[in-house]
């Protein structure tokens, strides 16, 4: 039981945001926060005709930040019997405070409807919080309006949401983040992936306690890692959110500020280096989920949302060989179509990749195709880095060695909880690079999914929208199409050829 229940002063609901459950056609969770604990938190919702569909009680979840000792209060209400492709209205309610309204739309069922989603990573907050140690920029606010103007069914936030682990006021940083995105996220799910800057040393075993408390995400079968990774189905797509800190070598969660200021950092044995923390649990789960999706006649697209990248031409962090060792063989084996990441603060995209260049010790992915405008992901996985969400330090802004050169983190040096491990990097050829023409700048990508086209194909049209620093004008800068036969047509084709061969 959390302390600090509200007294006579009204404590309004704030920071409203929506999430899909494992089945986007029928399951939604609405989450919010309050400055103090409140009485009888609940959600009232109604269907398209305005009839009162129901009221559900919300669950209170809180955490006390290890750095400041502040307690944050969040509330989560789940609904799991909704109609597909339907708009609902809702009101978040507490005793003694005015209700806060929002809407959401459920996902289509199967191949019945087109839908759009958007994605970016590395957003930060629109204005400095506390001492301003964490990143902020006006674009971290502008990008929310740009996304909202496209009215996507949902949005994927590819990690490094608000960089609370760098801030002297992490709870206020999270509040700033959700207040900023709520003008979109209260109307459509913003589905996150964990980034290295969600690791707030001292807040839970992987430092993720703030993130995990504030989101209500689909279950993954491992209660001790609930929320760290998950998947959901929307239409004919499976969306998988991974936590790459588990497989990366890079020491990306280290925070000098938290090392120097979290009380008991040494005595409690706090260690922000968490590589390998799930001991293979996440990989086992991923393989099971991918295998199941590939056996399903209802799933055409497998889309992975994650933070750190498998390939990078930016001389910034670099790609992490841990991802190549652990994830890419599974992406190859089960035909993952699309990977959306961040971490590198710019935009680039690859050709479909599968396997490695012959003899490559760096496991350099091999391109399978050379058409930049239209790609067929049956031959390989297309990776997008969309890390220009708002962090003011954009990549590649340091030393860029050449237009076709990739950078890979191959190892890390000595380190301990007090001293960050330095990355050991190597250069590689980058024949996988399809488009890397966005040096610096801010942006996001939109994905228009057409589940069934004449002729039996399905497609995703990808458009990258970019904006200059300080500009709210996001314009299309790059576009391409993923197209392939949908599963029904593919199976029909196989049967025809079998009959023809008899
Ligand atoms: Fe970042
Ligand atoms: Fe990052």
Per-residue pLDDT band for 20 (boundaries 50, 70, 90) equals very high
Average pLDDT, the chain: 94
What is the Cα–Cα distance from 135 to 125, expressed in whole angstroms?
A: 7
Q: Which residues surround ligand 1, an ion (CB under 5 A)?
A: 122, 160
The better pLDDT of the pair 384, 402 is held by 384
> From the CA of 275, how far away is ligand 2's center (Å)?
14
The better pLDDT of the pair 400, 222 is held by 222
Q: Residue 18 CA to chain centroid, in angstroms?
A: 14
Give pLDDT tens digits for 458-496. 999 999 999 999 999 999 999 999 999 998 777 766 666
Is the predicted pLDDT of residue 452 greater than 60, yes or no? yes
Ligand positioned closest to the Cα atom of 121:
1
Least confidently predicted of 32-36, 209-213, 398-402: 398-402
Give pLDDT tens digits for 173-192. 999 999 999 999 999 999 99
Per-residue pLDDT band for 6 (boundaries 50, 70, 90) equals very low
pLDDT at residue number 24 = 98
Buried b (16+ CB within 10 A) or exposed e, 350-369: bbbbbebbeeeebbbbbbbb
Is the predicted pLDDT of residue 53 greater than 80, yes or no? no
> From the CA of 414, how far away is ligand 2's center (Å)?
21
How large is the average pLDDT for residues 410-438?
Answer: 93
> From the CA of 309, how far away is ligand 2's center (Å)?
9
> From the CA of 346, how far away is ligand 2's center (Å)?
12
Least confidently predicted of 91-95, 353-357, 436-440: 436-440
CA-to-CA dists, residue 203 to 70, 255, 343, angstroms: 12, 13, 22
Residue 361: strand pairing partners:
none
pTM of the complete model beyond 0.85:
yes
- Rounded to 5, what percent of the chain is helix, strand, coil? 20, 35, 50
pLDDT at residue number 315 = 81
CA-to-CA dists, residue 362 to 340, 346, 368, 419, angstroms: 21, 23, 18, 27
Is the predicted pLDDT of residue 2 greater than 80, yes or no? no
Q: Let me know: does 305 contact 447? Beta carbons within 8 Å.
A: no
Is the predicted pLDDT of residue 5 greater than 60, yes or no? no
pLDDT at residue number 402 = 62
Give pLDDT tens digits for 215-251. 999 999 999 999 999 999 999 999 999 999 999 999 9
């Amino acid at each position: 039981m959390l302390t600090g229940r509200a007294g006579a002063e009204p404590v309004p609901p704030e920071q409203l945001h929506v999430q899909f459950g494992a089945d986007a056609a029928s399951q939604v969770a609405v989450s919010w926060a309050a400055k103090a604990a409140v009485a009888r938190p609940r959600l009232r919702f109604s269907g398209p005709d305005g009839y009162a569909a129901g009221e559900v009680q919300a669950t209170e979840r809180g955490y006390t930040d290890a750095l400041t000792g502040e307690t944050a209060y969040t509330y989560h209400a789940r609904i799991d019997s909704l109609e597909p492709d339907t708009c609902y209205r809702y009101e978040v309610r507490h005793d003694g405070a005015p209700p806060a309204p929002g809407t959401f739309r459920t996902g289509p069922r199967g191949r019945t409807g087109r839908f759009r989603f958007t994605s970016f990573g590395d957003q930060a907050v629109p204005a400095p919080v506390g001492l301003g140690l964490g990143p902020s920029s006006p674009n971290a606010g502008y990008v929310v309006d740009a996304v909202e103007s496209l009215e996507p069914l949902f949005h994927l936030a590819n990690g490094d949401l608000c960089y609370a682990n760098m801030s002297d006021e992490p709870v206020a940083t999270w509040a700033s983040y959700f207040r900023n995105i709520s003008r979109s996220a209260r109307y459509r799910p913003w589905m996150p992936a964990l980034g290295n800057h969600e690791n707030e040393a001292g807040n839970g075993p992987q430092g993720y306690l703030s993130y995990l408390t504030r989101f209500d995400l689909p279950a993954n079968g491992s209660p001790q890692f609930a929320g760290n990774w998950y998947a959901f189905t929307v239409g004919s797509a499976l969306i998988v959110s991974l936590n790459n800190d588990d497989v990366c070598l890079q020491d990306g969660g280290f925070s000098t500020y938290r090392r120097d200021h979290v009380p008991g950092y040494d005595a409690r044995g706090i260690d922000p280096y968490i590589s390998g923390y799930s001991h293979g649990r996440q990989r086992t789960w991923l393989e099971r989920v991918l295998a199941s999706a590939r056996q399903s006649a209802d799933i055409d697209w497998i889309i992975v949302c994650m933070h750190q990248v498998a390939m990078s031409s930016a001389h910034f962090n670099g790609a992490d060989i841990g991802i190549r060792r652990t994830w890419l063989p599974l992406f190859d084996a089960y035909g993952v179509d699309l990977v959306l990441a961040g971490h590198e603060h710019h935009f680039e995209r690859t050709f479909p990749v599968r396997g490695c260049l012959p003899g490559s010790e760096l496991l350099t992915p091999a391109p399978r195709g050379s058409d930049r405008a239209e790609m067929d992901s049956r031959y390989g996985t297309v990776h997008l880095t969309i890390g220009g969400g708002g962090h003011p330090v954009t990549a590649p802004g340091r030393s860029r060695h050449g237009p076709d050169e990739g950078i890979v983190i191959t190892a890390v040096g000595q380190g301990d909880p007090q001293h960050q491990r330095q990355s050991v990097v190597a250069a590689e050829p980058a024949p996988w690079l399809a488009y890397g023409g966005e040096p610096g700048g801010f942006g996001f990508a939109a994905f228009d999914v057409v589940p069934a086209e004449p002729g039996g194909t399905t497609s995703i049209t990808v458009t990258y929208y970019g904006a200059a620093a300080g500009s709210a004008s996001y314009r299309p800068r790059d576009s391409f199409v993923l197209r392939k036969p949908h599963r029904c047509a593919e199976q029909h084709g196989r049967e025809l050829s079998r009959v023809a061969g008899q």
